[in-house]
Structure 1
Amino acid sequence: MARLSRSGQKPGKRSAKRLILFVFIFGAAALVVAQSAPQIRHFFDPVRTVAGDQLGGSDTVSLWARVTGQVARERRIKDLESEVRELSRYKAAAISMAERLEAYENILNLMGEPPVRGVTARVTAESDGPFAQTLLANAGRAHGVEPGAIAVNEGGLVGRVIQLGEHSSRILLITDFNSRVPVMGEVSGVRAILFGGRDGLGGLTDLPERSGFIEGERILTSADGGAFPRGLVVGEARLLSGEWRVKYGMAKRSGGYVQMVPPPMIEAPEPVATLPQADETDAPAQASAAQGVRQ
């Protein structure tokens, strides 16, 4: 009668299990070593690629996320990673363009815009004012606000100060129908006049006949007329029913804050002192000197 081991198994069965385990370990080690060889590695590359795409590819949701119910989280992470890569490209292009622009300005000896100084104030909506779309700011002449100051917030251009008090000011929003803002397309360079609309979108007038804006491009102030500085963000161009409109970029908050910067003012030049006129007695001497130069 065959003897049993302490675990209750026969010695033959235990030896067979050890042999199978040894063969499995040896096969796994041989497979790893074989994949490290350049001559054999290319046979496993297609299998490895397919398995990687199925389990955790860069463009698809991984199998583990599907099993654990984290598909939405996995997709959000991939979207953010793609957005970061895209923003990195834009950042590199912006740095290159800024360096090139600075070099051009140095070559041309270009006079840039003066540094902007402004006053930050809290604004509240006004319901019974003289205009349909206005804000009241808790800063006025005593705080350094100037007549015709430009109001901006984190989204872009908000409006312009039309009434100035000692400790408060009234801002006419660019969404009001009475507002007129000279604008231009950031990419197309097309210029027009923006006025407020009733549907929350700005209208454009004085558009050129043979050119138009580009869908989605930013609309900036053009500084025509001297009421607004150049380059303030107004919104984005939208083509609706064959008509160009502007989606405003300013942040619409009834109890937010705005920064009021002085309007772009260029001081009038002082008259140059006139040169003293020569006397009639000096005319023959000047004529003879000119004749000697010609000779």
Structure 2
Amino acid sequence: MARMRGKRLKGRPLRRYALFVALAGLFGILLLQTSPRLRSMIDPARTVAADQLASSARPGLWDRITGTSAREARIRELEAEVRELTRYRQVAISMAARLEAYEDMLNIMGEPPVRGVTARITSETNGPFREAILVNAGAMQGVEEGAYAENEGGLVGRVVQLGERSARVLLVTDFNSRVPVMGEASGMRAILYGDRDDLGSLTDLPEKGDFILGERVLTSGEGGIFPRGIVVGEVVRRGGDQRVIFSMNRAPGGFVRLMPSMKIPRPEDFPVEEPADETETAASDETESGASNPGAP
């Protein structure tokens, strides 16, 4: 019993010392937070410690091997892109509403809605054209003769041969392809055809004026083969000549969208028929006038 009592008496001073040290530490922390002089003395050490912690948090060798750092960088890049696209989305919505209001005010006849067919691309090696592709969609899927193909980048080509379950598309990069185009900013008109260096060449240029370097080249809609306003490429200068970089190559993928050609019918194809009652009324009026004047010539 005496030994146990002695151990308890020895343990009490240690507890008192620990309590005193804790109270002194709390008091010191309060002084550091309230005293500007002490804070200015400790700030350099705090900055060094924060820099050490930040450097230790950087991706190490193991993160690079496992690909964790690359995935985190890609996630940050995608988040920044989403924020930027969100701003563009709001601008596009407001511009679409404004355009719709202007069209209603001017009573503009808009383009009729069309539905296309998405098809998978299969390469062709022994075909009749140098630059052509086969797609796994044909007449059974609703593809029409003369339809044009596009992807996310722009115009791809047009259907030159149609089958029941497949179609052959002549690419705009082929030499045999002829696309009526115009400059988006300059308004210049020309005919675009493909060449062997994967760049487009312009022919039938007007005598005056020229395309602007860097402007986009769009389909002009002349001839009724392609609708107006499809992006084809961008004007660049190569070897002293103006060439066109095809936009379809900027969005490589295994699918294209086949859209029906927007041909405007001629008025004589669908003439306006006069109502039958008006024709009969005019004939009866002529008969009555002839009966009332029998001597008239």
Superposition TM-score tier, normalisation by shorter sequence: 0.5 to 0.7
Matches within 5 A, 1:77-226: 77-186=75-184, 191-206=189-204, 210-213=209-212, 215=214, 218-226=216-224
Q: Which amino acid aligns with 2:223?
A: G
Residues 129-167 of structure 1: per-residue CA shift (max 9 Å, x gap): 221111233444454332211122344322111223455
Closer/same/farther in 2, CA of residues 96 and 188 from structure 1, 3 Å limit: farther
Larger Rg: 2
Closer/same/farther in 2, CA of residues 94 and 21 from structure 1, 3 Å limit: same
Q: Which amino acid aligns with 1:247?
A: F
CA shift, 1:273, in A, is: 7.7
For 2:90, what is the secondary structure of its paired residue? helix
Are the aligned partners of 2:218 and 2:228 in contact in 1 as well (CA < 8 Å)? Answer: yes
2-side partners of 1:124 and 1:7: how far apart?
92
Residues 222-247 of structure 1: per-residue CA shift (max 9 Å, x gap): 32332101233334444445544213
Give the percent of matched residue pairs that are identical in Structure 1 and Structure 2: 53
Work out whether 1:21 is the aligned partner of 2:22.
yes
Closer/same/farther in 2, CA of residues 89 and 10 from structure 1, 3 Å limit: same
Q: Which moved more, 1:243-252 or 1:68-77?
A: 68-77
2-side partners of 1:178 and 1:7: how far apart?
106
2-side partners of 1:193 and 1:224: how far apart?
10
Count of equivalent residues: 252
Closer/same/farther in 2, CA of residues 72 and 139 from structure 1, 3 Å limit: closer
1-side partners of 2:10 and 2:189: how far apart?
94
Residues 164-204 of structure 1: per-residue CA shift (max 9 Å, x gap): 34554322111101112233455665554322122223333
Are the aligned partners of 2:226 and 2:262 in contact in 1 as well (CA < 8 Å)? Answer: yes
Q: Which amino acid aligns with 2:124?
A: E
Are the aligned partners of 2:233 and 2:244 in contact in 1 as well (CA < 8 Å)? Answer: no
Closer/same/farther in 2, CA of residues 81 and 167 from structure 1, 3 Å limit: closer
Q: Which amino acid aligns with 2:23?
A: F
For 1:225, what is the secondary structure of its paired residue? helix
> Which of 57, 63, 84 is 1:65 aligned to?
57
Larger % of helix: which? 2
Closer/same/farther in 2, CA of residues 5 and 179 from structure 1, 3 Å limit: farther
Q: Which amino acid aligns with 2:89?
A: K
Residues 45-65 of structure 1: per-residue CA shift (max 9 Å, x gap): xx7xx96xx76xxxxxx5453
Q: Which amino acid aligns with 1:197?
A: D
For structure 1, the 5+ residue unaligned runs are 56-61, 280-295
Q: Which amino acid aligns with 2:24?
A: V
For 1:246, what is the secondary structure of its paired residue? strand
Q: When the two structures are superposed, what TM-score results if normalisation uses the length of structure 1? A: 0.66
Q: When the two structures are superposed, what TM-score results if normalisation uses the length of structure 2? A: 0.65
CA shift, 1:104, in A, is: 1.1
The answer for the alignment partner of 1:58 in structure 2 is: none
Are the aligned partners of 2:192 and 2:203 in contact in 1 as well (CA < 8 Å)? Answer: yes
Q: Which moved more, 1:199-208 or 1:104-113?
A: 199-208
Are the aligned partners of 1:237 and 1:247 in contact in 2 as well (CA < 8 Å)? Answer: no
Q: Which amino acid aligns with 1:103?
A: A
Q: Which moved more, 1:127-136 or 1:107-116?
A: 127-136
The answer for the alignment partner of 2:290 in structure 1 is: none
2-side partners of 1:137 and 1:76: how far apart?
33
Closer/same/farther in 2, CA of residues 150 and 207 from structure 1, 3 Å limit: same
Q: Which moved more, 1:173-182 or 1:132-141?
A: 132-141
Residues 27-81 of structure 1: per-residue CA shift (max 9 Å, x gap): 435666x59xxxx9xx99xx7xx96xx76xxxxxx54532656555554444333
For structure 2, the 5+ residue unaligned runs are 1-5, 64-68, 287-297
